[in-house]
Amino acid sequence: MPPSAAPWFHDLVAASATQRSETGSDAEAASSSRPSSPIPRALGRYRILDELASGGMATLYLAATSGPAGYEKMVALKRIHPHLAKERRFLDMFLDEARLAARIVHPNVCGVIDFGEADGQHFLAMDFLSGVPLSELMRAVGRSAELRADPMWVPVIGRILRDAAEGLHAAHELRDADGRRLEVVHRDVSPQNIFVGFDGTTRVIDFGVAAAADRIHHTATGEVKGKFAYMAPEQVNHDTPDRRIDVWALGVVAWEALTLKRLFRREGTAATLYAVLEEPIEAPSALSPRLPEALDAPILHALRRERDERTPSTRELGDAIRVAIEARGARLAEPGEVADLLRRALPREEESLRTRIISARARKDQLETPRSALPASWPLVLAMICLVVLGALAGAWGLGTLASGDESASGAREPGPTLVPEPTAPRAAPPPATTSDDPTSAHATPGSDGTFASDGTTSTEAVEPPAGPTRSSRRHTSRPATRGGSEGPDLATEW
């Protein structure tokens, strides 16, 4: 039957036009009009090194956080586009992903390290995974006749599928603090969201459109989330999602990974959806004779269109695939064997990633202003600075003394009686100087005769002048002669 003859066809095409997903039409339309922004230097405590990818809703950066003793950790930093963060529904979706992914702790799920906001920008810090999506590995093997015929390909795919099934099962079994199951459903299981690391470990990534009981953002009626070619029939028909739609999607991934062909993908959305709902599904071994027939049953069981007849959990699907591979005398590949095949399929990928990280770090170091540091000869520099400061103080003190002398000279030139020279009588010796008990007397201050005591203190006793004014007495007087002791100006205060 042609797609246009199906009674649900027109409604389904209209519904598909309203698709909303993490890279859905609204986010893509908004992002297509946004101006390209430079890579931020940092977000919170994370230093941004490079941009890894950019989608309709968020940008993924390579970042690093550092600590004492040379500690550094590489992370993948996901930042929601600033213009989308202003719209509540997109921000709620991003917050839901952060809250949900942070709760799932499993070796086959990409871990969330941190979530925060810096300068009005929301970000999600995740484990930095060194590897490639399963979709890239499948393309590389599909181009190589040698790898397609490699007997390790089936055990390697079996290990990848088993790891992914365990990661999804951990999400499906997630419970809240009260022990209630959260009914988490990924809703976007595909080769792009199954990540194969260079360490041979497979992890499920991207819970951005996952369904859960405690989400802030809820899907509106008519909205479809996920990729059409991996959607279960009930997902297309807008039925309430449960974990079995992830079982279906993982079954599609298994079928395509083993046959290296597309199962439901057609030209155009309507034809793809029609294939999901109506077209027959062939057994994998019928398309690839090298595949053991024992694998047909678990995969076709996961692809039952009636979900009540489908494999109930991803864990059961993973176990069934393992049993089918072992039934012909083989076994699942070990992580090291997965890593070896990955390097053979993509021999330059790991080194290219390592070079990119090194280049990004070096480029970032050049752009950033280095932190100021004391030179190795800092004691000598400090001593020179002290000498300069002391010299400046000494010069200022000398200028203050000269100013005081000028004031005295000015006072001496005031008009006065004409002096007639007289015989000079011998001067009596001045009385002994006394030391002031004032705490400020430690500062050397001039006395009334402009002299300083030998111990650094000022004489406060008045010196009896000779019987008549003489040039000598006027030269040593800092102000008009008065009877009695008089303290001079405090040089510290005057300076």
Active-site positions?
188
Cα 402 from Cα 400, distance rounded (Å): 5
Cα 140 from Cα 129, distance rounded (Å): 19
Which backbone phi and psi does 59 adopt, to 5 degrees? -120, 140
Cα 490 from Cα 477, distance rounded (Å): 17
Return the structure tokens found at 35.
Answer: 């101006």
Spatial CB neighbours of 226, under 8 Å, sequence gap ≥ 6: 21, 187, 188, 190, 209, 235, 249
Cα 308 from Cα 232, distance rounded (Å): 13
| Angle at alpha carbon of residue 372, lines to 367 and 373, rounded to 5° | 130
CA-nearest of 176, 321, 190 to 245 is 190
Helices 153-172 & 314-326, crossing angle to 10 degrees? 160
Cα 32 from Cα 393, distance rounded (Å): 66
Q: Which residues of 253-264 are buried (b: 16+ CB within 10 A; e: fewer)?
A: bbbbbbbbeebb
Helix (H, G, I), strand (E, B) or coil at 166: helix
58-66/121-127 β-pairing: unpaired
